[in-house]
């Protein structure tokens, strides 16, 4: 049953808050593990439905669904199951001079009720992944998936209802209005994945309740192909990272800066890599079942307008550039000769369109990256370690990939998050657990005589002893 049709956001919130009060002493390690196992099992039981839903929503290829939607969530759950005992264990804090003899511990306490707002581009992974972290931390959750992927939202609703009691986790379906109605409620933590524009709205609304936030945002993630790159490997990795999910990935390479000294051979390798992955001809690419579609007519129109504007301004296509509105299909497109005034160089592209921009030296490319907001990911393809280190140290981004792209997303022992415009806080593994937990210090006095520090004060010398 669609839970959102039988309860208002206020009812849902009240039920979760009451559930939290009941669970306070009981939602320990065994209960959290049970919830995580139930979630994992419900995902397994609904795998065919997940495949069908993502295919219906934007023709996402089965291999990509398995690799980028199901695997990361199951890996997140398995990782939490393996590590939760350690994460939950009280951590001893060493005494300080002023607190000698006292017992100091840090205990992870569930923040309480959490709101998770998810985007459409990886609807399953970006809804159920954070949900797993919230359950590991012991929070109750309202999950609001995106309105742009209705079939996936139905499956997510079903999985959550199958796996978890209604006073622990509930899906509220809907669009902007539902999102805003939920943001008006006094959640303890808001975990938002989406655009920087909406991230600002979320943070403002959360501020009214002083709710903490995790903001997993987007932006333009640049790639640098240096003079010493292995061009064939770089081109294959970049083509895969850019065109899987049809470029609708927050950490997809947005644009490529290539050293002028290797521009021509890199472009040749890139064209060859695209042909190998998706077909040599326009017809073959269009028929490829390995290329997802654009999520909505609006996004299709936005992307085609970006390409048209670039072409009108003098940019050339190395490959692609064509689209079919009725199929929401856009061919893998590589643009050359773009300039900073064009939308493709100013806005997050979020589609299968890749501008390739030549640069002179390290200072040149660093200055161009510095000119924009701090990206979610920066990828460097280069074999010269000293150049890689120089580029890494002189730039700021949510994450760095060296001779690799996208794959850091799959590493549960790395925090996943942005900086500045690309996000606040982090997700995945321990950091996901920490996002939904309050680190509560507990200080216990056993035999330290504190009376000496209380009035009437007998000189400052005693306090000096503790300094």
Catalytic (active-site) positions:
216, 250
Which listed range, 28-36, 48-56, 171-179, 232-240, lies at the site for ligand NAD (CB under 6 A)? 171-179
SS (H, E, C) the chain: CCHHHCCCHHHHHHHHHHHHHHHCCCCCHHHHHHHHHHHHHHHHHCHHHHHHHHHHHHCCCHHHHHHHHHHHHHHHHHHHHHHHHHHHCCEEECCCHHHCCCEEEEEEEECCEEEEECCCCCCCHHHHHHHHHHHHHCCEEEEECCCCCHHHHHHHHHHHHHHCCCCCEEECCCCHHHHHHHHCCCCCEEEEECCHHHHHHHHHHHHHCCCEEEEECCCCEEEEECCCCCHHHHHHHHHHHHHHHHHCCCCCEEEEEEEHHHHHHHHHHHHHHHHHHHCCCHHHHHHCCCCCCCCCHHHHHHHHHHHHHHHHCCCEEEECCCEEHHHCEECCEEEECCCCCCHHHHCCCCCCEEEEEEECCHHHHHHHHHCCCCCCEEEEECCCHHHHHHHHHHCCCCEEEECCCCHHHHCCCCCECCCHHHEECCECHHHHHHHCEEEEEEEECCCCCHHHHCCCCCCCHHHHHHC
Are 417 and 427 in contact, with CB atoms under 8 Å apart?
yes
Q: How far is residue 2's CA from residue 6's CA, in Å, rounded to a whole number?
A: 7
Contact flag: residue 250 with ligand NAD (CB under 6 A) = yes
Which listed range, 71-79, 120-128, 283-291, 336-344, lies at the site for ligand NAD (CB under 6 A)? 120-128
Contact flag: residue 119 with ligand NAD (CB under 6 A) = yes
Which listed range, 14-22, 91-99, 141-149, 358-366, lies at the site for ligand NAD (CB under 6 A)? 141-149
Q: Which of 114, 117, 237, 304 binds ligand NAD (CB under 6 A)?
A: 117
Contact flag: residue 126 with ligand NAD (CB under 6 A) = yes
Q: Residue 291 Cβ, how far from ligand NAD at the closest point, in Å?
A: 19
Contact flag: residue 182 with ligand NAD (CB under 6 A) = no
Per-residue contact flags (x/-) with ligand NAD for residues 331 to 350, judged by CB under 6 A: -----------------x-x
Contact flag: residue 193 with ligand NAD (CB under 6 A) = yes
Q: How far is residue 444's CA from residue 461's CA, in Å, rounded to a whole number?
A: 25
Q: Residue 95 Cβ, how far from ligand NAD at the closest point, in Å?
A: 40
Sole residue written with tokens 């291999």 = 63
Which listed range, 106-114, 159-167, 191-199, 227-235, lies at the site for ligand NAD (CB under 6 A)? 191-199
Q: How far is residue 459's CA from residue 453's CA, in Å, rounded to a whole number?
A: 10
Q: Which of 180, 288, 396, 448 binds ligand NAD (CB under 6 A)?
A: 180
Nearer to ligand NAD, 352 or 423 (CB): 423
Contact flag: residue 412 with ligand NAD (CB under 6 A) = no
Nearer to ligand NAD, 321 or 425 (CB): 425
Q: How many residues bind ligand NAD (CB under 6 A)?
A: 27
Nearer to ligand NAD, 110 or 351 (CB): 351
Nearer to ligand NAD, 138 or 423 (CB): 423
Q: State the pairing for strand pair 399-402/323-324.
A: unpaired
Q: Residue 433 Cβ, how far from ligand NAD at the closest point, in Å?
A: 17
Which listed range, 82-90, 174-182, 367-375, 445-453, lies at the site for ligand NAD (CB under 6 A)? 174-182
Contact flag: residue 142 with ligand NAD (CB under 6 A) = no
Contact flag: residue 146 with ligand NAD (CB under 6 A) = yes
Contact flag: residue 306 with ligand NAD (CB under 6 A) = no
Nearer to ligand NAD, 125 or 239 (CB): 125
Nearer to ligand NAD, 36 or 376 (CB): 376
Q: How far is residue 54's CA from residue 121's CA, in Å, rounded to a whole number?
A: 10
Q: Which of 47, 147, 286, 309 binds ligand NAD (CB under 6 A)?
A: 147
Q: Residue 199 Cβ, how far from ligand NAD at the closest point, in Å?
A: 7
Nearer to ligand NAD, 183 or 369 (CB): 183
Q: Which of 70, 142, 376, 391 binds ligand NAD (CB under 6 A)?
A: 376
Residue nearest to ligand NAD (CB): 218
Q: What's the CA angle centered on 251, arms 170 and 345, to 5 degrees?
A: 125
The contact set with ligand NAD (CB under 6 A) reads: 117-121, 126, 144, 146-147, 175-176, 179-180, 193-195, 198, 201, 216-218, 250, 348, 350, 376, 418, 423
């Amino acid at each position: 049953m669609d839970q959102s049709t039988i309860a208002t956001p206020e009812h849902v919130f009240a039920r979760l808050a009451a559930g939290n009060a009941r669970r306070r002493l009981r939602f320990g390690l065994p209960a959290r593990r049970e919830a995580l196992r139930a979630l994992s099992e419900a995902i397994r039981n609904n795998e065919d439905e997940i495949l069908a839903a993502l295919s219906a929503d934007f023709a996402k290829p089965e291999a990509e669904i398995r690799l980028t939607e199901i695997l990361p969530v199951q890996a997140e759950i398995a990782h939490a199951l393996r590590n939760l005992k350690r994460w939950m264990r009280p951590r001893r804090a060493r005494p300080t001079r002023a607190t000698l003899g006292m017992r100091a511990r840090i205990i992870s306490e569930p923040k309480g009720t959490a709101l998770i707002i998810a985007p459409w581009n990886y609807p399953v992974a970006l809804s159920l992944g954070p949900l797993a972290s919230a359950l590991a931390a012991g929070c109750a959750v309202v999950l609001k998936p995106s309105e742009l992927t209705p079939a996936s939202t139905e499956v997510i609703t079903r999985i959550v209802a199958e796996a978890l009691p209604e006073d622990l986790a509930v899906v509220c379906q809907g669009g902007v209005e539902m999102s805003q109605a939920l943001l008006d409620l006094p959640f303890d933590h808001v975990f938002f994945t989406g655009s920087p524009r909406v991230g600002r709205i979320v943070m403002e609304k959360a501020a009214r309740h002083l709710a903490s936030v995790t903001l997993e945002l987007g932006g333009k993630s640049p790639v640098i192909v240096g003079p010493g790159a292995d061009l064939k490997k770089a081109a294959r990795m970049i083509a895969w990272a850019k065109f899987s999910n049809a470029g609708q990935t927050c950490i997809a390479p947005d644009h490529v800066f290539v050293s002028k000294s290797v521009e021509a051979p890199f472009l040749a390798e890139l064209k060859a890599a695209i042909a190998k992955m998706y077909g040599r001809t326009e017809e073959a690419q269009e028929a490829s079942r390995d290329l997802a579609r654009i999520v909505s007519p609006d996004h299709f129109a936005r992307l085609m307008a970006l390409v048209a504007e670039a072409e009108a301004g003098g940019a050339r296509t190395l490959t692609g550039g064509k689209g079919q509105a009725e199929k929401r299909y856009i061919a893998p497109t590589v643009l050359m000769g773009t300039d900073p005034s064009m939308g493709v160089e100013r806005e997050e592209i979020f589609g299968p369109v890749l501008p390739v921009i030549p640069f002179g030296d390290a200072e040149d490319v660093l200055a161009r990256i510095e000119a924009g907001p701090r990206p979610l990911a920066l990828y460097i393809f280069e074999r010269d370690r000293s150049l890689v280190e120089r580029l890494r140290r002189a730039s700021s981004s949510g994450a760095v990939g060296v001779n690799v792209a996208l794959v850091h997303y799959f590493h549960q022992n790395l925090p996943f998050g942005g900086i500045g415009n690309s996000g606040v806080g982090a997700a995945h593994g321990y950091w996901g657990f920490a996002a939904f937990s309050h680190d509560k210090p507990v200080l216990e006095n056993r035999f330290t005589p504190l009376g000496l520090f209380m009035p009437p004060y007998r000189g400052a010398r005693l306090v000096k002893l503790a300094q």
